[in-house]
Amino acid sequence: MSHGNVASARHAGQASNPREAALQGLAKMRAIASRGYPQAVLPPHERPHVPTLRALGFSGSDADVVARAASEAPSLLSAASSAAAMWTANAATVSPSADTADGRVHFTPANLASLLHRSIEAATTTRVLRAIFADPRRFVVHDPLPAAAQTGDEGAANHTRFAGPGERDPGVELFVHGRSAYDVDAAAPRRYPARQTRETCEAIARRHGLDPSRVVHAQQHPDAIDAGVFHNDVIAVGQGRTLLVHERAWTDTRHTVDTLASRIGDGFRADVVTEAELPLDVTVASYLFNSELLERSDGGILLVAAADVREHARASAVLDRWTSPGGPVAEALVLDLRQSMRNGGGPACLRLRVPLTHAEREAIRPRVFLDDVLADELDAWIRRHYRDRLLPADLADPQLVDESRRALDELTRLLALPSVYEFQRTAG
């Protein structure tokens, strides 16, 4: 369903294993939490999303709506059944309180306007974020930007927050766009669409109250988009004072790197991988850059990569170079995320980084932070409710509606969340 997502297209129509996908994501969270990095849960969305099907003209009982959609417009039923919200990097763009003018954490939920199946997510994501980050003294969850071609927003997949020059300085926020809505002369991809606009990035920076001197804008290289780099996090990853990037990530990668270096200051380190070392097609196939970077207590960098990286010799060689003595990465943690990867989402897609102070974390009331007890409860919940095999034809099964709603009702109680789903709100 995602034109430009090469991995998703390559696996279209194949059987998926939703249970394994959820368990692999939970295992990733456990592995990272065990190393001392706090992990929190953003709950999944209701699927199939019957309100979307009703808005598209299908009527009757919920079972009737699903049956009619399956018979008359299976592509629309597929869109309304998409589980793309598992990639929380697309949920929102986040600016920590250290960077914002009012000293609060700001969230802009992504409108994901470029694709029908993703545009469904914005309303639920906004309610979920407002339920979790409910204290108005510390958090601002904005409305999504207008859902229009000029303001298409794909969330944190095109945003990276680096450290500031000093320990107490505001950070430097990098926004990446694929096109400008009003610059008709700008370079543009020919094969696949550019999803994020510069106007979107500028609007988010304004509404978050960011200092313009600590904001950097870069444009995706059209050739990269046409190779399958639909989001920046497929070709670049950064954290703290470290940046790993392919030379063809941006239209002027060298200038962008130099600008970041001047804004971030001493200690900034960029490793620019050349096309000769790692061709664009291997970059996309391996998802090497779609990794997480985490700062260790000793100052070193931990890189969390998908096991698929090791299946591509040239990508694996780059990872070995990064982790060699003197390289930018102290340690690599390689995890099995095959179910997510088959739809084009690696470790970076499965996380939304939300920097919080101790006081901000204490202000969060829902039970979303992972510990051993919650992890075990989530594991059991997944095994009770998730199917272990799903084919396109199975989407016509009206029982999926009831299965999803029962599971989500139980999950909201488990996470101490209010009614965030439309079926719960409609039921009163």
- CA-based diameter of the chain, in Å? 64
Q: Which residues partner with 410 through β-bridges?
A: none
CA dihedral 175, 180, 182, 183 (to 10 degrees): 120
> At residue 24, what is the residue type?
Q
Report the 10 Å Cβ neighbour count for 328.
Answer: 18
- Residue ranges of alpha helices (H) inside 300-364 are 313-322, 338-341, 358-362
Instruction: Give yes or no for a contact between 65 and 59, defined as CB atoms under 8 angstroms apart.
Output: yes
> At residue 104, what is the residue type?
R
Element (H, E) at 330: none
Any idea what DSSP says for residue 79?
H
> At residue 173, what is the residue type?
E
Element (H, E) at 95: strand 92-95
Instruction: Give yes or no for a contact between 289 and 308, defined as CB atoms under 8 angstroms apart.
Output: no
- Whole-angstrom CA distances from 307 to 21, 286, 338, 379 are 14, 9, 8, 22
Nearest-angstrom CA–CA distance, 165 and 171: 8
DSSP structure string for 379-403: HHHHHHH--S-B-GGGGG-THHHHH
Question: Which position among 45, 142, 208, 231 bears the catalytic label?
Answer: 231
Question: Which position among 46, 246, 349, 360 bears the catalytic label?
Answer: 349
Give the tokens for residue 70: 């399956």
Give the tokens for residue 101: 């003018």
Q: Please indicate whether residue 173 is annotated as part of the active site.
A: no
Q: State phi, psi for 219 to the nearest 5 degrees.
A: -105, 135
Nearest-angstrom CA–CA distance, 162 and 240: 5
Question: Which position among 46, 154, 199, 292 bears the catalytic label?
Answer: 154
Q: Please indicate whether residue 45 is annotated as part of the active site.
A: no
Instruction: Give yes or no for a contact between 118 and 82, defined as CB atoms under 8 angstroms apart.
Output: yes
Q: Please indicate whether residue 403 is annotated as part of the active site.
A: no
Work out the burial of residue 28: count CB atoms within 10 Å of its CB; fewer than 13 is exposed, 13-18 middle, 19 or more buried: buried
Residue 367, SS3?
Answer: coil
Would you please indicate which residues are annotated as catalytic (active-site) residues?
Answer: 154, 231, 349
